[in-house]
Chains A and B, each alone.
Chain A
Amino acid sequence: MSDTNTIVHDVIVVGAGLAGTWAAKIAAEQGVRDVAVLSKIHPLRSHSGAAQGGIAAALGNVRPVPDSGPRGPLEQLPDGATPVDNWELHMFDTIKGSDWLGDQDAIEIMVKEAIDIVYEYEHMGCVFSRTRDGRIAQRRFGGHSAPRANFAADWTGHVLLHTIHEQALRHGVKFYSEWYCMDLIVEDNICRGVVAMEIQTGKIYTMRARAVMFGTGGYGRAYKITSNAYANTGDGVAIAYQAGVPLMDMEFVQFHPTGLYKHGILMSEACRGEGGYLLNANNERFMERYAPDKMELAPRDLVSRSEQTEIDQGRGVEADGQGIYLDLRHLGREKILKRLPQVRELAIDFVGVDPIDALVPIQPTAHYSMGGIPTDADGQVIYDAEGTPVTGFFAAGECACVSVHGANRLGTNSLLEASVFGRRAGYAIARFLESGASLQSVSGDPAEKQRQRVQRLMAGNGKSSESVEKISQELKTTMTNQAGIFRDGERLIQASGTIHRLRERFANARVMDRSSCFNTDVLSALETEHLLSFSELIVAGALERKESRGAHFRTDYPKRDDENWLKHTLAYQTPDGPRLAYKAVNIDWEKYPPQERKY
């Protein structure tokens, strides 16, 4: 049964950001005794902690000062006054933001549970910023029609992550810190465990469990300019795909409008939520031309396209004309220090500019992965358009595709999604185990295949082989130039060819580090293999989708086409490359039928 190469737990969660940690904490709280979380970096290093601006929930704690206009100041809701916000408004904003590709049943669940989960965070110790009367403070965010971004200055993700991690420790969750998941074991559509490497020793184990959950994060690292951490290499989505699970809506990649120029590091949308402007080389607030109503607080896909258009038409800033200016100066010193302290430091550290008295150069940056592993609203991974479950396999957060974000996510809905669906997955896993789910047998030695994968990377003398880093850089350049903000058939076909050639070259790639102890050279190679694997699907989905919707914009098909394309893409692995299928979008045709999307 068990040997020194096999580890057994009731539940194995992969990824220790908000989604995975919520699931683990809830499962443990519900009485599952043996819950383990694997993370390739220490849990508190997870990228959820980098989120800045807020978590959405229609608490109705604040409102705009009456008659002060759409960008005027906010005040705490006076006693007895009717709140300006409710979950229905949040729901409509999210549907519209998704360009009607979000599943409306899942969105309804998310926006309703939003209110409760923000209070739960508060009860668990999260230190939110406050209104004068002690309620959770709220600010505006792009695409939201009311101030509903609940925040802790501009380090909201950081405090949420620390809070949920602390509570998971309190409930006895076991963390495997710096363990790298390499494979998902699925036989007969039943998930039986994972294969993982202990990074410090290089030892590879088969890890069996009654249920496996992925909260492995997004795939923004496929792009050259990105806000994502080095860790965000989409391992989970690639591993699931290799194991036969389809991936949904992979072509939808969000570009955030305000990445620091050349670095891509995020300057929170809170900069614009608090009233910041975007300026081109002529000192114009160019958003007037693209979103006269919402201006800088239009959703991210629209603002990023507007910036890129300004840049492409020669109105960009900085030496190479590839930048745009973010202007915060009029917010004043006090507000910047109080509300945006982290972004101020980032601007000073990375571009040498203090936003209190200078313009900050920014540019669009690959930020969020709308696509991922298809699940139902309980985190149960599904195999097809009919919702057939992959038994024992759950997923939530950015690696999953419920889908609540559809073709474009609204800011502050990601911390929300990871939390709500992570929590729901935790409850679903506890029910699944309680219903009698048992440990399933595993054929052969799945770890052996992964050991060979590592041995191949270390074979030969390494000198004359392909460089992993070069392949990785070429991929990122290709994805940025040919599958980025603006796409067309010709460039996507080129990208597809390039990725195919890079995959062939990767077969000859070797690492320089041959040691078994903490071999980050091997990890980078495995991560690059994952990037190559799912990037093919981003391009394939984008090439096939002959319309423009949300973050996916085809210059050769610039209109949304509901007649043919109001559907999710499902990509399946076959020996001949990806096979695409489609899945209907859940729409309430009475209440929320598709409309023209204008801001």
Chain B
Amino acid sequence: MTNNGKMQSVTLRVLRYNPEVDQKQHFQEFQVEYTADTTILDALHQIKAEQDGSLTFRRSCRHAICGSCAMNVNGKNILVCKTPLRTQLDRKNRVTIRPLPFLPVIKDLVVDRSAFWEEYQRVRPWLIAPPEAPEKEFRMTPEEVEALHNAETCIMCGACYSSCQVVALNKKYIGPHALLKAFMRVMDPRDTEPGERLDEVSGSDGVFRCHTIFNCIDACPKGLNPTEAIETLRKLVQKRQAFVAARQERQKTLLPVESSTAPAAAD
């Protein structure tokens, strides 16, 4: 690392909006000091503590797992907690920070994610497991677990949703985050309703709306690939019957040999 510990100065341009006083959004510039270690979130905190306590943003964990602090920096959606300031300077030694695009702004960098959460609930994000639970765990192979990793680590930050051109044009679109969740449930060998789920995502607001522009992949701070998940769902929609039959077959072997012969006690 270079310049570690050495203080430098930079201009942060922040798109601001306070519904109680502002007619519309406007940029405000702040000078902040930074070192090689300073994250963009640190810089926002520095402004809030020392210059303007009314600067408003969401944050919590500060290590890219809670999903609070997705914002638009220099035109790209990122998590500001894990992004060093020094990596985001433009040619004029500035960093431009806006709230996530395409979402209603509540105040400054805080957006209204209601539509985002409604879509998440719409895909029924919970597992619908077989009614008879085994005494111990359902047996899943490491490969089946691996196949879910693309969706499992989604932190629901909204970076993909608010970078999606289809979401921008059509508020009814389920969106990459919720389709990724649907993918996770469809692919889980324990889920008993993959057919119904495929029906739900194959409607006019679902997987066939995706224009495969790949913005969601570029935006995802966890390196996930919603487009690929959507592609998989599309293929499975075409093969719905066979897929459902295969799932039913697979669920016969979810229990280990010794306990599948004897009926497991209902939990």
Contacts and interface: CB of A to CB of B under 8 A. Distances in A.
- A and B: bona fide binding partners: yes
A333 interface: no
Contacts of A511: 53
A50 B66 contact: yes
Give the interface size class of chain B. Answer: 35 or more
A134 B127 contact: no
A263 B52 CA distance: 24
Contacts of B237: none
B18 A515 contact: yes
B140 interface: yes
Interface string A252-295: 00000000001101100000000000000000000000000000
B89 interface: no
Interface stretch (B23-31, B149-157, B163-171, B202-210): B149-157
B249 interface: no
A122 B127 CA distance: 10
Contact of B129 (A125, A159, A515, A521): A125
Interface in A478-529: 511-521
A169 interface: yes
Interface stretch (A237-245, A344-352, A422-430): A344-352
Given A120-B267, A123-B267, A135-B137, A45 B153 contact: no
B49 interface: yes
B19 A517 contact: yes
Interface string A305-321: 00000000000000100
Interface in A92-138: 119-120, 122-125, 127-136
A41 interface: yes
A349 B153 CA distance: 17
B138 interface: yes
A158 B145 contact: no
B190 interface: yes
Contact of A152 (B82, B142, B152): B152
B21 to A, nearest CB: 8
B62 A265 contact: yes
Nearest to B188: A125
Given A45-B67, A50-B65, A134-B256, A119 B137 contact: yes
Nearest to B148: A127
B53 A513 contact: yes
Interface string A171-205: 00000000000000000000000000000100000
Nearest to B5: A319
Given A45-B66, A130-B142, A166-B126, A517 B107 contact: yes
B196 to A, nearest CB: 15
Interface string B47-66: 01110111011111111111
7 contacts: A45-B68, A49-B65, A59-B136, A162-B125, A163-B127, A229-B61, A517-B19
Interface of A: 41-42, 44-47, 49-50, 59, 119-120, 122-125, 127-136, 152-153, 155, 158-159, 162-163, 166-167, 169-170, 200, 229-231, 262-263, 265-266, 319, 342, 345-346, 349-350, 352, 467, 469, 511-521
